[in-house]
Amino acid sequence: MGILDGRKGLILGVANKRSVAWACARALQREGMELALTFANDRLEGNVRELAGELGVKTVLPCDVTRDADMDALVDSVGTAFGQLDCIVHAVAFAKREELTGNYIDTSKEGYQLAQEVSVFSLPAVSRRMVPLMEGREGSIVTLTYIGSERVIPNYNVMGVAKAALEASVRYLAHDLGPRGIRVNAISAGPIRTLSAAGIEGFATILDTIAARAPLRRNITAEEVGDTCAFLAGPHSRGITGSTIYVDAGYHIMGL
One residue of 144, 230, 245, 249 binding ligand NAP per CB under 6 A: 144
How far apart (Å, rounded) are the C-alpha atoms in residues 172 and 76?
A: 25
* CA angle (30, 245, 135) in 5-degree steps: 65
Is residue 156 within the footprint of ligand NAP (CB under 6 A)?
Answer: no
Lay out the site mask for ligand NAP across 195-234 (x = CB under 6 A, - = otherwise): xxx-------------------------------------
Is residue 41 within the footprint of ligand NAP (CB under 6 A)?
Answer: yes
User: Does residue 55 contact residue 75 with C-beta atoms inside 8 Å?
Assistant: no
Lay out the site mask for ligand NAP across 61-100 (x = CB under 6 A, - = otherwise): --xxxx------------------------xxxx------
**Going by C-beta distance under 8 Å and a sequence separation of 6 or more, which residues neighbour residue 35?**
8, 9, 10, 11, 25, 28, 29, 55, 57, 59
The Cα-based distances of 77 to 41, 59, 73, 186, 211 in angstroms read 17, 9, 6, 25, 43
Is residue 192 within the footprint of ligand NAP (CB under 6 A)?
Answer: yes
Note the residues at the interface with ligand NAP (CB under 6 A): 13-15, 19-21, 40-41, 44, 63-66, 91-94, 118, 144-146, 189, 191-192, 194-197
Catalytic residues: 146, 156
